[in-house]
């Protein structure tokens, strides 16, 4: 579990705290002294006794809370709107609602989901620059007024279907330092801005701000500095044309895992410096961001079970090094894979490998075997890891994978109709008390 090293106070939405209580939602609040690991062990025990071998996630909402505190400590000027696309589980949305964040929704379905969980329309930004007309109409009908755009045809659609919308112009920025690049697909080039602003003026549309996304899994904080400076340029142009510019949205891209470990504070310093330079606190511009990965990446641990096993032998391997067992390769088939929760292995350039670990206790002296682990489907692309040296597993043993909260459940498919991993959301008593104190 992550250590909480920050001391910010947090605003919670008191009525939402009731939503989090066990009568109103399926978040389990642990008894005092019980840990998330105890919860996970119990779930696996329960499954063993009932013969349930389906995969599940432990959604550790303490992590979401700690990430929120960390954000408030280091980026106090920047309000967060969680990117629902990253993890659309109701428990995460409810937790963040309790923490009084906003939500970035990219479609009618995501807006519907957020509204159905009690999020109010003023807490939603419809952050997709190319929207189906029916989705724009839906947003209007449900009071979702803040939305992004990056081209003239979108402006025309908005003027027809939601003329009173508050518009945020998404600009294309340098995303070359990010693991997942977005700016070839979204964002207006700076040399097209003037024309877009003129078009909006002509259509009597209300542009109130600028947004950008430096790419997901950003590894270089200078990308934010340059993008904030670019946004200033657009603000100046729009201000000079009479638009009342008052919102800067610095998008997503934040992560604390893999290559990005430990650089969040450096990112925050660069962003705060750039904001103070280009958008000083007294300039009247509200600053927001759309973090997805940041909040949830480390909150979910996947528990998968060995469905099947094959022991392969390679007579040549024995011949080469003469070691006992070197010729044996263990082949395991688990109940979740790249078409399910582990789709990041093929879909997410910021998460291209996972290292499962055994739930059962391992004695250091146990024989290790070269192993390969496959997912459950009929496709040979569905491989989790190979050349993996672990003690021998049996059918029914459990493997755990940490850091599975981002772009996992929201992307998985129904290929071969294997059951989706159930989500078991949990909060420790300590975090529950902390939430209630605010």
Ligand X SMILES: Cc1ncc(COP(=O)(O)O)c(C=O)c1O
State the residues that interact with ligand X by CB under 6 A.
83, 86, 104, 127, 182, 213, 216, 251-254, 290-294
Shortest distance in whole angstroms from residue 297 CB to ligand X: 8
260 noted as active-site residue: no
Please pick, among 105, 305, 378, 417, the residue that the annotation labels catalytic: 378
Residue nearest to ligand X (CB): 252
Shortest distance in whole angstroms from residue 217 CB to ligand X: 6
For every residue of 178-209, which 3-state class applies, written as one string? EEECCCCCCCECHHHHHHHHHHHHHCCCEEEE
CB under 8 Å to 329, separation ≥6 — which residues?
311, 312, 313, 314, 369, 370, 371, 372
DSSP 128-141: -SS--HHHHHHHHH
Please state, as a whole number, how many other Cβ atoms lie within 10 Å of the Cβ of residue 69.
18
Joined together, the tokens standing for residue 164 give 């009173």
Task: Provide the CA 145 distance to its chain's centre, in angstroms.
Answer: 24
What DSSP element (H or E) covers 160?
helix 152-161
Contact 28, 95 (CB under 8 A): no
- Percentages of the chain per state (helix, strand, coil), in multiples of 5: 35, 25, 40
Contact 437, 71 (CB under 8 A): no
Shorter beta-carbon distance to ligand X: residue 127 or 393: 127
Please state, as a whole number, how many other Cβ atoms lie within 10 Å of the Cβ of residue 1.
13
Q: How far apart are CA 227 and CA 165, in angstroms?
A: 24
**Opening angle at CA 86, ends 216 and 106, nearest 5:** 95
Burial 134-158 (b: 16+ CB within 10 A, else e): ebbbbbbeeebbbbbbbbbebbebb
Contact 76, 97 (CB under 8 A): no
Please give the positions annotated as active site: 378
């Amino acid at each position: 579990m992550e250590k909480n090293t920050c001391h910010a106070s947090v605003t919670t939405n008191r009525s939402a705290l009731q939503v989090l209580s066990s009568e109103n939602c399926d978040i389990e609040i642990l008894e005092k002294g019980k840990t998330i690991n105890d919860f996970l062990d119990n779930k696996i025990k329960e499954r063993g006794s009932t013969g349930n071998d389906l995969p599940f996630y432990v959604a550790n909402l303490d992590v979401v809370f700690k990430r929120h505190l960390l954000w408030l400590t280091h980026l106090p000027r920047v309000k967060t709107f969680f990117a629902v696309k990253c993890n659309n589980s109701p428990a995460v949305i409810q937790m963040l609602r309790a923490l009084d964040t906003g939500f970035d929704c990219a479609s009618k379905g995501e807006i519907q989901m957020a509204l159905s969980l009690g999020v109010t329309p003023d807490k939603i930004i419809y952050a997709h620059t190319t929207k189906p007309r029916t989705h724009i109409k839906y947003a209007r009908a449900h009071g979702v007024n803040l939305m992004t755009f990056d081209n003239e045809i979108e402006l025309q659609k908005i003027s027809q279907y939601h003329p009173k919308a508050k518009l945020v112009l998404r600009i294309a920025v340098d995303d070359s330092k990010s693991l997942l690049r977005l700016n070839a697909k979204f964002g207006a080039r700076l040399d097209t801005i003037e024309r877009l602003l003129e078009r909006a003026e002509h259509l009597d549309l209300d542009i109130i701000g600028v947004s950008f996304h430096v790419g997901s899994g950003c590894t270089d904080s200078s990308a934010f500095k340059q993008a904030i400076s670019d946004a200033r340029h657009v603000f100046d142009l729009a201000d000079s044309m009479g638009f009342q510019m008052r919102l800067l949205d610095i998008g997503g891209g934040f992560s604390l895992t893999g290559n990005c470990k430990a650089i969040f504070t450096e990112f925050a310093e660069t962003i705060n410096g750039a904001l103070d330079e280009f958008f000083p606190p007294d300039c009247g511009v509200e600053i927001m961001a759309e973090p997805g990965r940041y909040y949830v990446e480390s909150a979910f641990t996947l528990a998968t079970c060995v469905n099947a096993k094959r022991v392969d032998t390679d007579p040549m391997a024995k011949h080469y090094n003469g070691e006992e067992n070197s010729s044996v390769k263990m082949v395991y088939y688990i109940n979740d894979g790249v078409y399910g929760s582990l789709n990041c292995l093929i879909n997410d350039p910021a998460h291209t490998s996972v290292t499962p670990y055994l739930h059962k206790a391992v004695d250091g002296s146990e024989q290790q075997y070269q192993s390969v682990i496959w997912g459950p489907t009929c496709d040979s692309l569905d491989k989790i890891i190979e050349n993996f040296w672990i003690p021998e597993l049996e059918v029914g043993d459990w493997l755990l994978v940490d850091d599975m909260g981002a772009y996992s459940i929201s992307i998985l498919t129904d290929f071969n109709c294997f059951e989706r991993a159930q989500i078991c959301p949990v909060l420790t008593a300590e975090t529950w008390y902390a939430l209630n104190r605010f």
